[in-house]
Amino acid sequence: MKVPKAGAVAAVIALAATASGCGGDAPKEPLSIGIKFDQPGIGMREADGTFTGFDVDVATYIAKELGYKPNEIEFKQVYSSDRELLLQYNEVKFVAASYSINAKRQEKVDFAGPYFVAHQDLLVRADDGSITKGEDLNTKKLCSVTGSTSAENVKNNLAPKASVLELGGYSECLVALQDGLVDAMTTDNSILAGYSARKGNEGKFKLVGLRLSNENYGIGVKKGDNDLQRKINTALTKMVSDGSWEAAVKKNFGPANYKYEPAPQVTTGS
pLDDT in tens, 5-33: 545 444 444 444 444 444 455 567 999 99
Residue 100: CATH number of its domain: 3.40.190.10
Q: What is the pLDDT of residue 81?
A: 87
Domain count, the chain: 2
Q: Write out the residue range of the structural domain in which residue 51 sits.
A: 31-118+215-256
The pLDDT score that the predictor gives to residue 49 is 96
Domain assignment present for residue 20? The answer is no
Per-residue model confidence (pLDDT) at position 178? 96
For the stretch 193-242, pLDDT in tens is 888 888 888 889 999 989 998 899 999 999 999 999 999 999 999 999 99
199 and 219 share one domain: no
- Residue 208 near residue 121, CB atoms below 8 Å: yes
> Do 124 and 91 sit in the same domain of this protein?
no
Closest CA to 123 of 204, 46, 56, 200: 204
pLDDT tens per residue across span 151-188: 888 989 999 999 999 998 888 999 999 999 999 999 99
Q: Are 109 and 223 in contact (CB under 8 A)?
A: yes
On whether residue 53 sits in a domain, the answer given is: yes
Element (H, E) at 184: strand 184-188
pLDDT at position 146, please? Answer: 84
